[in-house]
Structure 1
């Protein structure tokens, strides 16, 4: 078995914000001992990661890959599972550790790597029993039914797939079964939502004990706007000062991520009143430059 872990990021759709987030996440990872892992980026936008090419393996995803990996139900989160499956085919003897773009490494991944080597599956956090989730869009149509021979029932937990780690011994089988389950679930759903997350959660928890990464990795899915702004500010300074990666890592050392919320919620009444005020009293009046004829 390869002693190094394959750390994986996936970026598709040529979305600049996603690529910026991945860049920043990888930067936070480069602060630590990189001899324990290899970083892989699977993307259809390799031009956005040239600056990291010395530190990462970049695999180009074609438009055909994206079409094929979306599957017959055109479900874009399925692409993540297929990208991980490709990685297991390329390196079948290597543990894999996936991170969503909107993550930041607060600590070295050593604890997660050790857990993988001990045969655990890893997810970002345990979101609780699916049956008790406030969002009923998955539980109601899927309960007590089998998908890829896994029954969705009152014992099924939903794990957050912002981080997914699978030991090499089980990775290929779990991903294959999760993709099958995902496809079968999609057939029964009008609102697919995060069914990819449910599929891999349901399969992994029947095969392995699971550990969670939420004490080591910030997953700021609930406050992307603020994090995106601070990433843009960071990258602007790096560009204007013409920093190399070493200098950029030094700049990052002064950043304290726990001071930035990973989740923010705007009260619905606040949103409604602001929307009404914007209609009644437009706060922005636009004026455009008019060149002389």
Structure 2
């Protein structure tokens, strides 16, 4: 099984998140599993050489992967196709950077060996979802067919923070890409296109199953988790831990004690933005040259 991450751009938080997720996957993987990082800045993973495989990409590749509709998250589908082409006999377990393992992954590995596909968790049938984007998507797409896949009351939206594709069904990536591009061509609201395309494409080959009981996805509490990860990596650096020592440290952590989602007050956010804008630092002082 290939455990795959994708990271590009210059945001150091994203690279640190991937680092931490790699450490947690290393704590639970077995000897036959391979960890692969597709990275725009591969030098940031130099300390992991020998423990992971690094596939470098550049801005030209990213631009090509975005396709003729210049769709940012199409890059994720193309990256997984690259892995499937390189390792056509292996299942793929893709993870967003803001994830962590907290339970044994045998159920995912064995399920994919038996032809099962996974995504992180089902968010609901598209027609019943309540966000503005989802309502717009349903209004525009209901009853339509995208790359031979009809959108109806059974069409479900799954969270794409984890994507598990059986080696028996790697062709579903081409279906996912076709659905994605067809939605772009129809000018569907873009925020959730890639996520919905994966939900439909993978489900065409195998009724999707959730993986939230094995992997946590803290998309709803990144601020706190970034602080936790930053402190963790600093400690590992300052104490000069070896890779094996870091993995043992991860195994001792209780990752379930920190929330993966919190609901922030909109009033608090607006007040903070107002105060930050109104009260700015004045008279900065610099050292003399």
TM-score, scaled relative to structure 2: 0.93
Partner of 1:170: 169
Superposition pairs of residues 6-25 of structure 1, within 5 angstroms: 6-25=2-21
Structure 1: which 4+ aligned runs deviate by more than 6 Å? none
Give the alignment of 1:221-236 within 5 angstroms.
221-236=219-234
2:84 counterpart residue number: 88
Out of 115, 119, 128, which is 2:124 matched to? 128
Aligned-pair CA distance for 1:146: 0.8
Maintained 8 Å contact 2:140/2:188: no
- Answer yes or no: is the 8 Å Cα contact 1:102–1:221 preserved in 2: yes
**Aligned match for 1:240, one of 238, 241, 262:** 238
Following superposition, the deviation at residue 105 of structure 1 comes to 0.5
The 8 Å contact of residues 216 and 260 in structure 2, kept in 1 or not, is answered as yes
The alpha-carbon distance between structure 1 residues 109 and 287, as it changes in their structure 2 partners (threshold 3 A), is farther
3-state SS of paired residue (1:59): strand
Q: Indicate the residue corresponding to 2:154 in structure 1.
A: 155
Q: Indicate the residue corresponding to 1:253 in structure 2.
A: 251
Indicate the SS of the match to 1:31. helix
2:68 matched residue in structure 1: 72
State the secondary structure of the residue aligned to 1:35. coil
In 1, Cα distance between the equivalents of 2:68 and 2:215?
A: 33
Cα 1:33–1:68 shift into 2, 3 Å: closer
Q: 1:55 aligns with which of 38, 51, 58?
A: 51
SS in structure 1 at match of 2:204: helix
Q: In the alignment, is the contact (CA less than 8 A) between 1:27 and 1:249 conserved in 2?
A: yes
1:37-58: CA deviations, max 9, x gaps? Answer: 1111111111111111211111
- The CA distance in 2 between the partners of 1:152 and 1:249, in whole Å, is 44
How much has 1:255 moved relative to structure 2?
2.1
Whole-angstrom CA distance in 1 between matches of 2:11 and 2:111: 33
CA distance in 1, matches of 2:286, 2:15: 35
Residue in 2 aligned with 1:30?
A: 26
- Residue 33 of structure 1 and its aligned partner are, at CA, apart by 4.2
Which residue in the other structure is 1:193 paired with? 191
Q: Please, which runs of 5 or more residues in structure 1 have no aligned partner?
A: none
Contact 2:102 2:215 in 1 (8 A): yes
Could you say what the CA RMSD is over the residues aligned between the two structures, in angstroms? 1.7
Q: Does the Cα contact within 8 Å between 2:91 and 2:165 map onto a contact in 1? A: yes
Q: What is the alpha-carbon distance in structure 2 between the residues aligned to residue 79 and residue 292 of structure 1? A: 46
Q: CA deviation at 1:251?
A: 2.7
Q: In the TM superposition, what is the alpha-carbon distance from 1:190 to its structure 2 partner? A: 5.7
CA distance in 2, matches of 1:274, 1:90: 48
